[in-house]
Amino acid sequence: MDAASSRTPGARQRACTRCDGLTDRPVLVSDVHQNSGPGFSVYACPDCAPHFPVLPDVAALLPGAGERRAR
């Protein structure tokens, strides 16, 4: 993708949280939840994304999740 087409209106560019570069192929690496106000998502470029841990499955964090799956 050339520089001119990467600046088209509506293009979903995000800044990589690790290298600060812009990417048009962002990878979600974290969700930040806050008590006051909306949370936000943290993105990385495809090259930096493997340096972040895998996001957990929210359902697996609930009490008794393993018991429900076993049934």
Q: Do residues 6 and 24 touch, judged by C-beta distance below 8 A?
A: yes
- Residue 71: what pLDDT? 54
- For the segment 27-69, what is each residue's pLDDT rounded down to a tens digit? 999 988 888 889 999 999 999 999 999 887 777 888 876 665 5
What beta strand segments (E) does 1-71 contain?
A: 14-15, 22-23, 27-32, 40-44
Q: pTM for the complete prediction?
A: 0.64
Three-state DSSP class for residue 46: coil
Q: Do residues 44 and 52 touch, judged by C-beta distance below 8 A?
A: yes
Q: What spatial distance separates the first Cα and last Cα of the chain, rounded to whole Å?
A: 49
- Residue 69: what pLDDT? 53
